[in-house]
A and B are shown apart, each in its own frame.
Chain A
Amino acid sequence: MGIPLKYNLRNLVVRKVSTAMTVLGIALVVTVFLLVMSLAEGVTRTFATSVSSLNVVILRVGAGSDVNSFVSKDQHDAISTLEGLARGDDGQQLESPEQVVLINIPKRDGKRTNVIVRGVEPVAFKIRGDSVRIVEGRMFQTGTAEAIVSTRARDRFPELRLGGTAKAGSERWTIVGIFDAAGSPYDSEVWADLHNVQEQAHRTGGFSTVVARATDTAARDRLIAAIKGDQRIKLDALPESDYFDKQTVTAAPIKILAYFVAIIMAVGASFGAMNTMYAQVSARTREIATMRALGFSRMVILVSFVLESVVLGFLGGLAGAAIAFVAVHLFLTAPTGTNNFASFSEILFNFQLTPALIVSGVVFSLAMGLFGGLFPAARAARLKIINALREA
């Protein structure tokens, strides 16, 4: 059996000020790490929320997103003749031509950014099912310049309130409803009538994209193959989930930033822990020598001091996770946005502090404790008993 853990725990309590400072240092690192990671997680989640596995997004070959895609009317007509398209209750084929335009409008802080206005027909809502639904106000009327906005967009852009007007250049849309898109990328958008959007944007020659629903996954794959292979169509098609997956590259720089910032800060915090533990080894030299004299091996001493440092890290991890939790649930509740490099528009999302992230934050803190404790513990274990016993 080794040295009892209570020996280490009580030592942590006895020197409460230095313990608190070290724990705080580690806690801040974990907090920053968790906050930035929950930002990245928010983006990833937004793109990962696919509406249906049967939905297919059809784009111009080489277009990264619907913003820079074009589907002509002829191509659309050809698509509607393909087999495997699902039909709604009313027998209508579930394929939705959509026109996407960007408008540049001010955020709450006054800075302007691009927002997607998506022109759709009623079939678009059937394809998205319950995942896009009105939560306030009403649906826009076909043939009018009315629009509905997502809850996140409403919270972030003052002009996009119920009764407000989304305007860019000569384009105008009156907001008559608020919709919820279940955290998907559509939650960053304004939706309006397809033909009105095409007219206002002077894009009547075709559409940006066509979103279709297949009858089943086999039909979906056949449909995708048909769209890619058909000489009349010559378009790119992919499952909606894959389409959004490709856009999660937006989260990559945030994650890199999280790791970069966290690693630099972690090195600092580890040195903090190391400093504390070195001071402890010096202060407890005679205790260590006594335990060695009693017969505790070098390895037991090493493990004991590493463990003490890991406990320090653990306390810091818990504190950091608690701070991040409070921050996300009390202060960072409003949606935030980042540029989606694929669509040149802003993608809106919420901080997502998941249990998995919290666990990774705590594991990260344990690693800091381990790294910080290793060298001081090795010094403790290497002490020569006869020299150390003479220490005052």
Chain B
Amino acid sequence: MADSLICIEHVSKAYRRDSLQIPVLADIDLTIDTGEFIALMGPSGSGKTTLLNLLAGIDTPTKGRITIDRRVISSMRETELARWRADHIGFIFQLYNLIPVLTAFENVELPLLLTRLSRQERQAHVRTALAIVGLSDRADHYPRQLSGGQEQRVAIARAIVADPVILVADEPTGDLDARSAGEILDLLNRLNTEHHKTIVMVTHDPRAAARAHRMLHLDKGVLSVEEPAAALDRSRDGR
């Protein structure tokens, strides 16, 4: 457990609504190793996104401890956590969440503005990231000039540009047609295998989940089933 990249110990999360405590996650224990590709499944309201938010450092647990890359993030203060996120986490959202007034290039560059890289270095990183997602020729396009699949690829380029250890993806194919979804999943697979990114993906889609090494099931806040993905062997066989 000590060598795991992500270590979640006895984590509970409850939200307060007026005087009511609404439990979302109950005593979760989970470890994820470097280079794993995890699919997090479960019905709506089961706490998938909450768990994802906790390990991405945009929410804090009510109880328990989260250690990532040997640092306990569950006790970090707001500003420290923001800095940590910039260094360690790449976000991929269902609705891409690109900034509409910035070009693809500028959107991808955003996370690098939080680093000490020079302008030239930033430009080089952005070009590399756009090349990885196959959108070098769309650098000057605004989000409204791109298809859904292309927007999500730009969002993925933004997620990887600062070279984070972990990519968190919340329903990354949820708003895409089957073909674009397939391309995005291929891209995630490639980032996992070729670029060794650890990926935690929330999804409703069994076909998306099949791309992962491990499938985790959350139900009513309890991590109930943990099973190896059926697709794992297939992908290892190179098919």
Q: A residues near B, CB below 8 A? A: 1-4, 6-7, 10-11, 14, 286-287, 289-298, 385-386, 389
Contact = CB atoms under 8 A, between A and B. Distances in A.
A296 B102 contact: no
Interface string B93-104: 101010111100
Contacts of A1: 113-114
A167 to B, nearest CB: 70
27 contacts: A3-B113, A4-B106, A4-B113, A7-B102, A10-B101, A10-B102, A14-B101, A289-B97, A290-B93, A290-B97, A290-B99, A293-B85, A294-B85, A294-B86, A294-B91, A294-B114, A295-B86, A295-B87, A295-B111, A296-B82, A296-B114, A297-B79, A297-B82, A297-B83, A298-B78, A385-B59, A386-B53
B133 to A, nearest CB: 17
Given A4-B113, A7-B99, A7-B101, A295 B83 contact: yes
B131 interface: no
B231 interface: no
Given A291-B99, A389-B97, 13 more contacts: A3-B113, A6-B106, A286-B95, A287-B100, A289-B97, A290-B91, A290-B93, A290-B97, A293-B58, A294-B114, A295-B82, A295-B114, A389-B58
B132 interface: no
Contacts of A2: 113
A287 B98 CA distance: 7
Interface of B: 50, 53, 56, 58-59, 78-79, 82-83, 85-87, 91, 93, 95, 97, 99-102, 106, 110-111, 113-114, 158
A287 B91 contact: no
Contacts of A10: 101-102
A388 B78 CA distance: 16
A3 to B, nearest CB: 7
- Give the most central of B83, B87, B110, B111: most A CB within 10 Å: B110
B16 to A, nearest CB: 13
Contacts of B97: 286-287, 289-290, 389
A231 B119 CA distance: 82
B42 to A, nearest CB: 17
Contacts, number: 67
A4 B99 CA distance: 12
Contacts of A14: 100-101
B14 to A, nearest CB: 14
A293 B114 contact: no
Contacts of A3: 110, 113
Nearest to A14: B101
A1 B86 CA distance: 13
B58 to A, nearest CB: 5
A297 B82 CA distance: 6
A260 B87 CA distance: 52
Contacts of B158: 294
Given A14-B101, A295-B111, A386 B59 contact: yes
Contacts of A294: 85-86, 91, 110-111, 114, 158
A309 to B, nearest CB: 16
Contacts of A4: 106, 113
Nearest to A289: B97
Nearest to A291: B110
A286 B111 CA distance: 16
Contacts of B86: 294-295
Contacts of A287: 97, 99-100
Contacts of B82: 292, 295-298
Most chain B beta-carbon contacts within 10 A, residue among A287, A295, A386: A295
Contacts of B93: 290, 389
A116 B113 CA distance: 69
B8 to A, nearest CB: 17
The 6 A-B pairs at the shortest CB distance, nearest first, are namely: A295-B86, A10-B101, A290-B97, A1-B113, A385-B58, A295-B85
A281 B53 CA distance: 23
Given A294-B91, A295-B86, A386 B58 contact: yes
Contacts of A291: 99, 110
A2 B82 CA distance: 13
A378 to B, nearest CB: 15
Contacts of B85: 293-295
A14 B143 CA distance: 14
Nearest to A15: B101
A14 B56 CA distance: 32
A297 to B, nearest CB: 5
